[in-house]
Chains A and B, each alone.
Chain A
Amino acid sequence: MNAPLLELAHIGKQFGGLNALSEVSLHIKRGEIYGLIGPNGAGKTTLFNVITGLYRADAGEFRFAGLRYHHPQPHRLAQAGIARTFQNIRLFANLTALENVMIGRHIRTRSGVFGALLRDAATRAEERACAERARELLRYVGITRPAQTLAKHLSYGEQRRLEIARALATEPLLLALDEPAAGMNATETESLKTLLQDIRATGITVLLIEHDVKLIMGLCDRVAVLDYGRKIAEGVPDEVRGDPAVIAAYLGNDDE
């Protein structure tokens, strides 16, 4: 029996009088790459923020890895295994690439104030392991620059990769990516696709919001389409592509 990793039921979210999300239900299975698409303003990022705990849903149920969360705080969800990247890159700009990834290890390491002050054997070992793992992850996502480079001095594509490395450092069950290919050229997008497939192969479930329909269609196992805060279609990419409601959402409807 393969229970879904993430289950949303009847999620609603309002901003003032605007229904940003209404009655959105979906589930993401373990090990799949799940895509979330929709026209601008469809509520993709809102849903994404609900999933990662940044927004509180006004209605609905939220289950992750078998546990129900009422008003999940972002750091609790991160500890539970949801890691995310941001649409407009949010790195720790004045820290090094290495430190960025090491901060991702924060919840998987333990040493506290006394460890820091005494710097005992256990703390030193943990620091070493943490730095080593961070270096591995930097190489894994393909950042070849010195690990001591400040995050703000990395190129745009490298910054996007660094965000992924930082998210992977938290040892997530679900990696949630908000438009990871935004602003990338074709070559960069292609290598991102390979990276995401690699990540999935290690057993991590991936949730992807994307504008680049080609990337979504080529990569995702299943896709959901949002429009005006509602889920209008869900299924394998080919199915969704032919769905009249989806075509209407993207291209407009003659009746309106």
Chain B
Amino acid sequence: MKSGRFTKKNGLFVLQLGAVLLLPFITDALLGRGWVRIVDFAMLYIMLALGLNIVVGYAGLLDLGYIAFFAVGAYCFALTGSPHLALAFPQLFPAGLHLSFWQVVPLSALLAGGFGVLLGAPTLRLRGDYLAIVTLGFGEIIRIFLNNLNAPINLTNGPQGISLIDPIAVAGVSLNAGEEILGITFPSVHLYFYLFLAFTALVIFVSHRLEKSRIGRAWMAIREDEIAATAMGINTRNLKLLAFAMGAMFGGVSGTLFAGFQGFVSPESFSLMESVMVLCMVVLGGMGNIRGVILGGVLLALLPEILRHGIVPLQQALFGRTVIDPEGLRMLLFGTALIAVMLYRPAGLWPSRVRRSELEADEPGSTI
């Protein structure tokens, strides 16, 4: 955008964009390749958190089984993009399906959306704690199904999971091999970073557009007061189902990305703890506020890794041995952080509606 005027705001935006685009190289140079992979995972979590934010943050429906949609998307790619089907059903799929990533993305979005409606339909009358319990059960049911559907017919390969998932290819370039573009070598994790960045940008865009729309307002009306919302003529059934479906779609797409990135899926990636983590990202960051949710996602995805990589060397240096296991410490610090945030910033670290506009004068409207 050379034609745009160079204002302070534009300049800041260009700087931020540049920093984000260079992030994998900076991370690689400063911390090593392993950290680029961690950043990639953080992006997946951000997408998940933004998807859950539609359900929890906008429509106010507490969902403790959100990771199930992530699982649906991941297994969707795992089944259609790996040799598993050929091995399990040689007659039906002699060569496996091997759909391309771009075919799987809409498929898993639709499938996950369908599962969202499946979860939403029986829970329409439930709210708060009751809804949380049912969604928790739903999440566990999906995981247990994945864990046990290796007999009588081997659909999911049970606890062993499905491996050898085809790598994601963009414009004919497999992201699993590095690529040299314009003389710069992009390792695989860097390529995945840019793919995830594009999807995250899309998810942010969709969230933002929905938030500032008639649909978004109706969701927030349901969140604020369901009875008043119906009295205003809002069809709460349809809008709740829509929220579940939209949120699930985001989960499904990020699950597909996850499967392609890992090349392997197994049920243990989709435990209740993961649902809780994603929910914590939303709540800790600030329900209903896109920036807050992103912040929550970044913090909660990176902090455990920082601890893992920082605490052991620190203990070694201080005591000469590892006194506390970093896994245990992680949960301790995580719990403490949650309590502190809920005590001192109950609306999240970056809550919605911290608005300057409240202090600004009303825009002049037309006269009657």
Contact = CB atoms under 8 A, between A and B. Distances in A.
Interface of A: 52, 54, 73-75, 78-79, 83-84, 86, 90-95, 99, 102-104, 106-107, 109, 111-113, 115-117, 119, 123, 126-127, 130, 132, 135-136, 139-140, 145-150, 153, 166-167, 170
A167 B231 CA distance: 9
Describe B's contact surface by its main secondary structure. Answer: helix
Contact of B218 (A86, A106, A140): A106
Nearest to A112: B215
A52 B231 contact: yes
Interface string B227-253: 111111111100000100010000000
B214 interface: yes
Contacts of A79: 233
Q: Which has the most chain B C-beta neighbours within 10 Å: A106, A123, A153? A: A106
A92 B221 contact: yes
Contact of B365 (A115, A136, A148): A136
Contact of A95 (B210, B221, B236): B221
Interface of B: 206, 209-210, 212-218, 220-221, 224-225, 227-236, 242, 246, 353, 355, 357-358, 360-363, 365-366, 368
Nearest to A90: B228
B81 to A, nearest CB: 27
Given A111-B214, A113-B210, A74 B360 contact: no
Given A103-B221, A106-B218, A146-B358, A84 B231 contact: yes
Given A75-B232, A127-B214, 13 more contacts: A74-B231, A75-B230, A75-B231, A75-B234, A78-B230, A99-B220, A102-B217, A103-B220, A117-B209, A126-B214, A135-B365, A147-B362, A149-B358
A176 to B, nearest CB: 9
Contact of A146 (B206, B217, B229, B362): B362
Given A54-B231, A74-B231, A166-B232, A92 B214 contact: no
Given A116-B215, A116-B216, A150-B353, A93 B234 contact: no
Given A78-B233, A148-B360, A132 B213 contact: no
Given A90-B227, A92-B220, A115-B213, A107 B233 contact: yes
10 contacts: A75-B234, A92-B229, A99-B220, A106-B233, A107-B234, A113-B210, A113-B242, A126-B214, A146-B358, A147-B365
A148 B359 CA distance: 8
Given A112-B215, A132-B365, A150-B358, A103 B209 contact: no
A93 B224 contact: yes
A149 B368 CA distance: 21
Nearest to B225: A90
Nearest to B355: A148
A146 B357 CA distance: 9
Nearest to B216: A116
Contacts of A147: 362-363, 365
B68 to A, nearest CB: 22
Contact of B228 (A91, A117, A145): A91
B301 to A, nearest CB: 27
Nearest 3 pairs of A and B residues by beta carbon: A78-B233, A116-B213, A107-B233
B210 A75 contact: no
A75 B361 contact: no
A115 B215 CA distance: 10
A170 B170 CA distance: 49
B360 to A, nearest CB: 7
Contacts of B233: 74-75, 78-79, 106-107, 170
A233 B365 CA distance: 47
Contacts of A127: 213-214
Contact of B358 (A113, A117, A148): A148
Contact of A106 (B212, B217, B353): B217
Contacts of B353: 94, 150
B355 A103 contact: no
A78 B232 contact: yes
Contacts of B229: 92, 103
Contacts of A113: 210, 215, 242, 246
A109 B368 contact: no
A107 B217 CA distance: 12
B289 to A, nearest CB: 12
A74 B206 CA distance: 30
A145 B229 CA distance: 24
A27 B236 CA distance: 30
A107 B232 CA distance: 8
A109 B215 CA distance: 11
A68 to B, nearest CB: 20
B77 to A, nearest CB: 24
B358 A103 contact: no
B228 A75 contact: no
A37 B221 CA distance: 31
B236 A109 contact: no
Contact of B224 (A52, A92, A107, A148): A92
